[in-house]
Every structure is written in structure tokens, then in C-alpha cells.
Structure 1
Amino acid sequence: MLCGLLTPTAGDGRVAGHDLRGSRAEARQSLGYMAQKFSLYGDLSVKQNLNFFAGAYGLDRRARAEAVARVIEIFQLERHLPVNSGTLPLGFKQRLSLACAVLHQPPVLFLDEPTSGVDPITRREFWLHINGLVRRGVTVLVTTHFMEEAEYCDRIALIYRAQEIAEGTPDDLKIRAAEISGGADLTMEDAFIALIEDSDRKREAA
């Protein structure tokens, strides 16, 4: 829905100031999206995927060449350019996916479990790229089931049984969970568990 692919059944929503009911095309053009599973063209090379998506985002020939050159350097893809994307290791597939998602320099970026299945070193590298985008003013929305990753974010929304059960900064949620559980020095995972248990208690009492 936030990507402008589904029409909202109720309520309002905006992405980069564009209404999701009346300006879905503009909303889509203002965001980048990276799926959890590799969703690029596996039978195309790395360079061909980059060129294709640069064109799909409507970049003209000059802007397309500049954008492709920029992400090749940022994501260190040079030696993989002729390789079929489907044969890349998972970490490089994710790196290529992120590169394609930011070719048009969108102000908003949606990342759906971007580090699922990758090794710890690649995960850390990925977050360096994400933090670099944030420093350049990009708004990044990340879904993750790794609580230590959630702690990197400025704000967190905890989703349990398809409902938002808590929202706030990492420190806010830890403080709230500590008040509920009576614990101290909670990790983000401890806080998440405490908030889930509190949600279950409230539902049972209702």
C-alpha cells in the first residue's frame, strides 16, 4: 500500500508528501523499494540490471549513465558487472538490489528484511550503507526480525499479530518494558518480549 500498488480501503496515507489515493504514480517515483527475496532479473548481468532499472525510473541517457556509475562505485560492483545476477552470492545480490533501489536517489526508501540470511559481516556492511543514506537525508523504513538491528533505528514500531503494540525510540521502549517487567539494563530483544507478554495479558483480560 505504501508503495502505491494497493489502494487504501480506509484512512489516508502520504509518501514524500504525495497522497496514496490521488497521486500514486508520484508516490512510487519518490521511493525506492528492496524486497526481502531477490527480485531482480537473474538471467541479466549486474550491469544490465542496473541499466534496466535506471531506465525504468525514467532517467534520461546522461542521468542514467551517471547514476549507474555512482552506485557501481558506492557498492563496489565493478568486478561483478558482467556476471549473471542469479549466480551471485546472497550478500552481493542484496548489495545489487539496494543499488538498484537508490539509482534515482529517492527521498524515501523501503527495505523489507534487507539482511535476512546474510552473514554478520555483510549485515554490518549493509547497515553502513543504510546509515550513509540517512546522513544524506533519505528517510529509510526497515522491517526486520533482528532486534539488535532495530536498535540502530531512530524510531521503532513493534508489530505483533498484525497489530502495532508499541512505538517510540529504542530507549523509550526499553524504559517502558523495564517498568512492565521490573527488569534493568534490558536488551532490545528483552524489551520486545516484555511488551509482547504485556500485550497478551491485556488481551486476555479484555
Structure 2
Amino acid sequence: MENTIAITDLQIGYQQKPVVKNINLTVRPGEILGLLGPSGSGKTTLIRAIMGMIKPMSGTVRVFGQSMPNRHLLEKIGYMGQTDDLYDTLTARENLQFFASLRKMTRQQTAIEIERVVRVVSLQSFLDRRVADFSGGMKRWLSLAITLLGTSELLILDEPTVGIDPELRIQIWQELKQLAKDGKTILMTTPL
């Protein structure tokens, strides 16, 4: 079975100054890997290298057996960053529909997926509310729901449960465990 992520002798940094070095890592289909560390320890920098957002100083990053960056692989990756990139003037449903359209989902798939992901994050009764009226925690929930849309083979979640209450956190973990059982690979970060 091919590794979903394979990192060899990775060194990444900014302005020729290494931030993360000597990283060797493999993540296989169906695995959940958590990167733990305090702020500034390089978790997000590593994720950015895996996504192909920054170029390594040395070493290799391969996702699905291909070198990153690779724009075509992004269709197989669900990514949730630390910031919520949402359209405040749209409703939660409209945000979900927009991001589903970027993934080329049909109307029927979109409707089914929206129903599924809003259950996971308990946003059913807020679907038709404008995102501008959401609390910070609700925006995180919606960002996670958008990430869970569709059939991404790899989910990369940068601090997904920050600002989420403990009860919902348990529900989210149950969904992530089920996705892993279904063969999805999950990489997430969390602060100490």
C-alpha cells in the first residue's frame, strides 16, 4: 500500500533560516497523525510544505507518490487552515454550496454532503444564517464542515478544535475516526 504522505530529510525555513529540519515521516491510508507542539514550533510550516505552499530548503515531500507542489493533487486534499476563509455576506449553506462547486460536486451530491457535514458540526439550525452573524466558534465549525465536504482522500486540519466546545469535539473525533476507518488519511495539528 502506497503512503499518503512521505517526507524525507525535510528542512524548511524562511529567508534561509531553518525553522524545521531533519523531518522524516510517513503517513499511510487510514491513519490519523497528530502534530503536537507549542505555538511557533513549526507545525503550520510543515503543513504548508506538505500542501506545496512553501518550497523546502532541502529534502522531499511526496503526497500520493507525487512531489509537491502539485496543483492536480489538491483536488484529493481537504484543508482547514488556522484562519477561517469564509464569505461573511453569504449564509452557511451558500458557503458550503460554493465550496462544493469548486470540488465539482453535482447538486445532488452537494445536498447530501451538506446534510452530512452540518450534522457533524451541529450547524443544522444555522444553515440559512449569514456568516457575518456567526461567533468565532461557529465559523470554525463551518470551516471544518467545508473541509469535510466530499471525498477527499487526505484531510489536513490545522488546529481544527480550537474554539470548539468539548461535546462537539467528541462528535468531531468520532467522525474523523470513521473517516480513517473508511481509508481516509488525516493529519492534524494541535497546540500543547
CA shift in 2, pair 1:59/1:130, >3 Å: same
How far, CA to CA, are the matches of 1:29 and 1:77 in structure 2? Answer: 25
Q: Which residue type is aligned with residue 18 of structure 1?
A: Q
**Residue 12 (1) aligns with residue 80 (2):** no
**Unaligned residue ranges in structure 1 (runs of 5+):** 147-206
Q: Is residue 91–residue 122 contact of structure 1 (8 Å, CA) maintained in 2? A: no
The alignment's TM-score, normalised by the length of structure 2, stands at 0.65
CA shift in 2, pair 1:75/1:121, >3 Å: closer
User: Which aligned pairs between 1:2-151 and structure 2 lie closer than 5 A?
Assistant: 2-21=50-69, 24-146=70-192
What is the CA distance between 1:55 and its match in structure 2?
0.8
The alignment's TM-score, normalised by the length of structure 1, stands at 0.61
Larger Rg: 1
How far, CA to CA, are the matches of 1:54 and 1:119 in structure 2? Answer: 26
What is the CA distance between 1:17 and its match in structure 2?
2.9
Structure with the bigger percentage of helix = 1
Structure with the bigger percentage of strand = 2
What is the CA distance between 1:2 and its match in structure 2?
1.5
What is the CA distance between 1:9 and its match in structure 2?
4.1
Q: Which residue type is aligned with residue 94 of structure 1?
A: R
Q: Is residue 108–residue 139 contact of structure 1 (8 Å, CA) maintained in 2? A: yes
